[in-house]
Chain A
Amino acid sequence: MPDPIISIQGLDAHYGDFQALYGVDLAVEPGQVVAVIGANGAGKTTLMRSISGLLKNKADAIRWQGRPIGALRADQIAALGIALVPEGRLLFPSLSVEENLIIGGQLGRKGPWNLARIYQLFPILQERRNVPATALSGGQQQMVAIGRALMSNPELLMMDEISLGLAPVVIKSIYEALPDIVGEGLSAIVVEQDIAKALSVSSHVVCLQEGRVSLTGGSGELSRDEISKAYFGV
C-alpha cells in the first residue's frame, strides 16, 4: 500500500463549547478519490474546514506527506497544494469571473492548470469572463469555484457539496468534467449527500454520523444496508 498523501488521525473539532468532530480518521492515497458521505450536520463541512486550516487543530491530527500540518494557517495549507471548493461556492462578488480564477492561481504553483485549460474545461466561462462572478447562474458559479481551486494546481482537491442547489442536468455536466480533472493525477475528497453519486466517482468511501466515522470501505464493496445504517444510524 502506498503512503497516503494526507492522513488524519483522531481529529476533534469544536465550535465554542460545541464539539462537531470526535476522533475522525481518514487517509487519501495519491491519485485516489475518497467520498465523504453523511446526513446534514454529520460534520462533513467541519471536516473540510479543519483540513483546509479554517478551523484550528492539533498539529499532528493532520499529516501531509508525513508532516504534521494541523496547526498551520489556511494560506499555508493552500500553499502546500490543498485546495477547497467550499460549500455554497463562495465566490468573490467584487471580482469578475476571470479575476476569481486568477486569484485562485495567485500562489503560482506549477502544474497543468492555467486559465486556458480552465476555459477549455468549461468553455462558457471564457465567454462570460468579464462579468461579476456572482452574476452567473448557479451551475456556472460552481464551475468558477472548481476552476478557482484548480488554478492553484493542487495535489489534493476537496469539493464540498458541489451539486447542492443545482439542476440535475447541470450536476451531470459538472460530474462529467470530473474524470478530466482527476485524470491529471491529483487526489480528491468529494463530499456528497447523494450516495449514488458519491459511490460512482470514488474508490473509497467514509461515512460520518454525528461527528464520528460510522463506516469506511471500498466504494464497490459496501452493501446498501451497511451504508444506510451508517448514514442514518438506524
Chain B
Amino acid sequence: MTNLTVSRSTPASTIAMVALGTAIIILFAAPWWAGRSELRLLGEIFLYMSLATLWNFLAGYAGLVSVGQQAYVGLGGYMFFAATIFWGLSPLVALPIAALIGAAISAPVAALIFRLRGAYFAIGTWVVAEVFRLTFAQISALGGGSGTSLPVSVAQSLADGRDAREALTYWLALGIAVVVIGAVFAFLRSRRGVALMAIRDNELAAKSLGIDIWWTKFTVYVVTAGLTTLVGGLIFLQKLRISPDAAFSVNDSTAFVIFIVVIGGIGTLEGPILGTLVYFALRETLADYGTIYLIALGVVAIAIMLFAPKGLWGLIRGHRGTELFPLSRRVRGLTEKGQ
C-alpha cells in the first residue's frame, strides 16, 4: 500500500512563506532604518502592490476585466476626505468607513454593469468611473473641479510630529498590502475560491456543478471594490490633496496597475508582487524620460502579452508550476507508486 496524501505546501512554498514573514518584520522596522524619501517610496510600492493584487483578483481570477478601478480609488479618496472634514472622524476610523461605503456603492454598480459581457464590461466600468469623476466635480463643498486639500488639523490628528505621522502612514500602507494579499489568498483557498477557479477554467462545467457564477463574481467585485476604496483612501492620505482628475485618473490607478499585472504574470498571486517591483525599478530609473518612458511601458506590455502571456512569473516558474503561495492541492505518493 502506498499512502496518498493531499497537501498544498511544497518545500519551495514553505521557504517562501518563512522568507515572506521575515521580510514583513524587516519592512515593519523600516521607519527606523530608512530615510524619509525611501519610506515614501516603499509606502507607494505597497499601495500599488495592493491595487495590482486586487485588479489581478478581479481580472485574472474572476475574468472581470475592469478598466474602471479608478472609480473606487477616487471614491476612497473623496470619502476619506469627506469623513474627516465634514463628519470630523479620526483618519483611522474614516478609512474603514470609506471602504464600507465603497463596497455598498459597488453592489448596485455591479448589478448594472454585469449586464455587459467581456470587453464591453471593461468599457462599462470606465463609464462608471467617469460618472463618479463628473459627479465629484459638481460637489462644490469638496472643491468642485479644482479639488481640495486635507486640513492640517486632520493630518495632525493622526500622530504627533511629522516623523510619527509618516511612520504611521507607512505602516498603514504596509498593513493594507498584507491585508489585501492575505485576503485574496484566503479567498482563493476557500470553497468560494475553488469555485472561482473552476469558473475561470470552464464556465459551463462550473455551472453544471451547481456553482452560482453570477453570485461568485458579484462577491469578488464587491470585495475588490471595498478594498480598492480603502487603498484609495490611503493614497490620498499620503497625497494630502485631491481633485477629480487626479482621483479618477485612468492612467494612475488602472493603466499602470494593468501594466504591473501583465508584466508580472496575470492569474497568479506572485505575479502582481513581482510586477510591482519591476515597475518601480523601471520608474525610478527611467521616469525622467517622460513620454518615451510611457511609450516604452506600452510597448513592453504588448510584447509581453504577445510573446510571454503568462508574464515574468510564468517564465520563472516554467512548467514545474512552482508556487510561493501554497494554493494548488498536490497529490503525494503517486510517483512512488508509478515507479
Chains A, B in direct contact (C-beta < 8 Å): no
